[in-house]
Amino acid sequence: MVQPHNEAAADVWGHSGAAYDFISFGLSDGLSHAVQALWPRPGEQILDVATGTGWTARLAAQQGASVTAVDIADPLLDAARQLSSHIEPAITFRHADAEALPFADAAFDGVISTYGVMFAGKPQVAAAELARVAKPGGRLVLLTWLDDTEGYIPSFFAMIGKYAGGPPPEVSPLVWGNAEWLTETLGGHFDLAINERITTLLAPDADTLWQKYRHGFGPMDRAISGLADDAVRAFQQDFEDFHAAYDTGHGLVIDRKALLVQGTRHVSD
Q: Could you give the CA distance from residue 33 to residue 29 in angstroms, rounded to a whole number?
A: 6
pLDDT digits (tens, 9 = 90+) for 126-177: 999 999 999 999 999 999 999 998 899 999 999 999 998 877 788 899 999 9
Which pLDDT score is estimated for 14?
87
Percent of the chain scoring above 70 in pLDDT: 100
Question: Which of 59-63, 163-167, 231-235, 246-250 has the least mean pLDDT?
Answer: 163-167
Of 7-11, 17-21, 154-158, 225-229, the range with the lowest mean pLDDT is: 7-11
Side-chain half-sphere CA neighbours of 42 within 13 A = 2
Average pLDDT taken over every residue of the chain: 95
Number of domains in the chain: 1
What is the per-residue pLDDT for 19? 94
Q: Tell me the pLDDT band of 225, cut-offs 50, 70 and 90.
A: very high
Q: Read off the pTM.
A: 0.96
Contacts within 8 Å (CB) and 24+ apart, 85-93: 87/58, 87/61, 87/62, 88/61, 89/61, 89/64, 89/65, 90/61, 91/54, 91/57, 91/58, 91/61, 91/67, 92/67, 92/68, 93/51, 93/54, 93/57, 93/68, 93/69
Range of the structural domain that residue 47 is part of: 4-265
Of 171, 195, 181, nearest to 34 by C-alpha is 195
Contacts of 246 (CB under 8 A, 6+ apart): 152, 252, 253, 254
Write the CATH number for 90. Answer: 3.40.50.150
| pLDDT of 92 over the 90 cut | yes
Instruction: Give me the phi and psi of 115, to 5 degrees please.
Output: 55, 35
Calculate the alpha carbon distances from 57 to 73, 155, 207 in Å.
16, 29, 30
